[in-house]
Chains A and B, each alone.
Chain A
Amino acid sequence: MPHYKHLIFGALSLCAISVSHPSAAPCAPMPDTVTLNLNGRLFQPFSFDHANHIALIKECSDCHHHATGTLVLDPNCARCHQNSSAIAVVSCKGCHSSTPFSPETIAATRAKTDRYHLDRLGLKGAMHKSCIGCHSKEGAGPVGCQDCHTRSKEGDAFYSSDRLGAKPANAEGH
């Protein structure tokens, strides 16, 4: 009988933990696909399979930091965001500027003297860092430019591949 008591106690406490730390916090409606590179000139827009990535990664915070999902695990972020709760802005572009180096963005960053995150990646940099960073771990996913987004005619001209017809893009990968 005392053994049963222990087991019940243990089971109850486990339940309590899982309830207080829900693995996926209730958040804004999640899109199944996201069209990325919408304004791309050199590379065409493409559809990002958000649903598939959720199924594969499960941890929202791996990509969305502390904005949604579980608490942050990165020890450097955890120094301040250990107990940060989910926030309303979840999409990448909500925080990462698509024009990180425009005079307006630089002036705005300089004006906010109380801000800690001065070294914030732009939208393009954040996405490539997130995607390529994860994909390059033990061949988890594609890393070549055109494996995700096909190059446009203008892009071919830009990389001088149309008239010189040298090697195809990313023949050797990265």
Chain B
Amino acid sequence: MEDASIKLTNLAKSYRGQDAVHNLNVDVKKGELFGFLGPNGAGKTTTIKMLTGLLEPTSGSAHINDVDIWKNPIEAKKKIAYVPDQPNLYPKLTGWDYLEFIASVFQVPQEKFQSKAKELLQIFSLTEQANDLIESYSHGMKQKIAICGALVHEPEVLFLDEPTVGLDPKSARSLKNLLRELCDNGMTAFVSTHILEIAEQMCDRVGIILDGKIIALGTMDELRSSGGNLDQSLEDIFLELTGGEDHQALISEITDQGDPK
């Protein structure tokens, strides 16, 4: 069997006795685009932070290409890139300075950096703003430069937390296409998102987390067949599994009662 690029083994996190993430066991294969879904507060960001070395697990382990991120953090971090949902970057660096900083840390060869950075800036329409300070960027532009920084050193594994929030439609489309292309070329992507259409269209496999537990895991076809209805959309499956259908029924009831006869 092919080795997992990302391997979560009994990964758990609790805050003051409250379990935020329960023993997660997930393998993400090399070159796979994995969608990580769940309602607000389900534990998506906590999981991603444990996988990127930002949060220490209470128990269990997380391996990136066979390297334990908490036992050998530097080695593991050399293989990954992370784009958070709120990219708080250095306000007094220009976009270009930021990319240079990241490339310096990863010791990217100069020529390679030059061409890669220009290419990424072009894809995300940031070429003209590259020499402006990040503090003058909009949320979407910060998101885009953070993505450029994540991709400039060609990571083996990419973690994206709500990557399309704040992106304009063109950039969102560019990101989707780029991610698919990069994964087809061997990069592994672990993407958390609320936008189910994106997950449905892009992802090879999907994991749904609720209250810190994985409640569904598989390809779209596997999820559909487990629900017994092959015509179901990911949205239907998600709402069914996370209890959203009950809320939907309640909302319909309220609006029906409010309708003038």
A, B assembled together: no
